[in-house]
Amino acid sequence: MTKEEGKLLIEALTLLLAIVASIAALVQWRRDQSWKRAEKLDSMFKEFESNRLIQIACRILDWNRGKFSFPDGDKIEFEHEDVVKSLVLHDEVKECTFTQTQARMRDAYDSLLSFFDRLESAIDGGLVDGPKALRLFGYWIQHLDKMPEHQDCGQAAMKYIARYGSLGSFDSLCGRIGR
């Protein structure tokens, strides 16, 4: 082997090592990004599980009436009629007053809708893995979309979302789960 051939071999090996190092760095970067998306989804799930108003909204969506207490002693009781009234838009009736329970229900819907807005933004921006997020939250998205426990409230819920939430974000989430 001549001196020139030796130099050429060293340059080729150096280039090969640089390519291998670049591929290894790319693989590690992708792992890190995947881990960060998982951490973000975990933090969103913790928020969903710990937010009192979101939990109230989920109980409303899952039950047609109910009475429940939280560990700190806070209680809420609602009937189907409260669900119907709580979804009324302010300009749909002349005098629009809500009971304390109905007002709290509206706050709960707003909290859930804000969460769904953030979820859609996170999925759209690639901050969380969409299919994994939808496995965690799809049940609640479908329940808000279809209102199976309050079937006569489906249209009212969509009007509520259009007025006070982000219908575009919600429709996008519904489309992701195959509405």
State the pLDDT at residue 102: 93
Q: What is the mean pLDDT of residues 65-86?
A: 86
Using one digit for the tens of pLDDT, what is the confidence trace for 100-128?
A: 999 999 999 999 999 999 999 999 999 99
State the pLDDT at residue 28: 84
Q: Indicate if the pLDDT at residue 33 is higher than 90.
A: no
Q: What is the mean pLDDT of residues 86-94?
A: 85
Share of the chain above pLDDT 90, in %: 59
Bridge partners of 68?
A: 76
Q: Indicate if the pLDDT at residue 62 is higher than 80.
A: yes
Within the chain, residue ranges assigned H as helices are: 3-50, 52-62, 80-86, 100-124, 130-146, 154-164, 167-176
**Mean residue pLDDT across the chain:** 90
State the pLDDT at residue 72: 77
State the pLDDT at residue 92: 81
Domain edges within the chain: 36-176
Q: Indicate if the pLDDT at residue 89 is higher than 80.
A: yes
Q: Indicate if the pLDDT at residue 161 is higher than 90.
A: yes
Using one digit for the tens of pLDDT, what is the confidence trace for 127-154?
A: 999 999 999 999 999 999 999 999 899 8
State the pLDDT at residue 8: 83
State the pLDDT at residue 39: 94
State the pLDDT at residue 12: 84
Q: What is the mean pLDDT of residues 31-49?
A: 90
Q: What is the pTM of this model?
A: 0.82
